[in-house]
Amino acid sequence: MTDPELDALFALAADVQRHAHVPYSNFRVGAAIQASDGRRFAGCNVENIAYPQGSCAETGAISAMVASGGSRAIRRIVILGTGPAGPVACAPCGGCRQRILEFATPDTEVWFGPDRAGLRPHRIDALLPGAFHSLTEGPAGDPAATLAPPSPGA
């Protein structure tokens, strides 16, 4: 079964992946988002010699979506990774899982795999169990884990 929209996202992620700045790891990642309004956005990883200052491909794609001023809901995201030995299934890191969740709906599809034939869909709630959903509601909506406001004099 072909899916032209998924094919287009895969092609966009593969294209932007070639632009990754990865002089230290030689591990290229490309991400492409389809927002709920149908528009597409891409990002690639950008490394920095000061390790934590780099940015993930998913972060770049989400930033482009937000900067566009359009929809802020992710319908689908495709993530592709290629290391020195070739393409690999590249799941989003923990931080990116939380970033994706910030803009996800219950129907958001997270796709990753080594190539187009190997892409598999995942649900963000399965990739990030116990996630933070708001500052007033604890992980995964658990009222027992609600963050209480600071007490007076604290």
pLDDT digits (tens, 9 = 90+) for 69-85: 999 999 999 999 999 99
Which residues are annotated as catalytic? 58
pLDDT, residue 130, reads 83
* Domain 4-137 CATH superfamily: Cytidine Deaminase, domain 2 (3.40.140.10)
pTM for this model (two decimals): 0.86
Residues of the chain with pLDDT under 50: 138-139, 141-149
Contact 15, 37 (CB under 8 A): no
Compute, in degrees rounded to 10, the torsion defined by CA atoms 57, 59, 65, 68.
Answer: -100
Whole-number Å distance between alpha carbons of 40 and 65: 8
Q: Domain limits of the chain?
A: 4-137
pLDDT, residue 88, reads 96
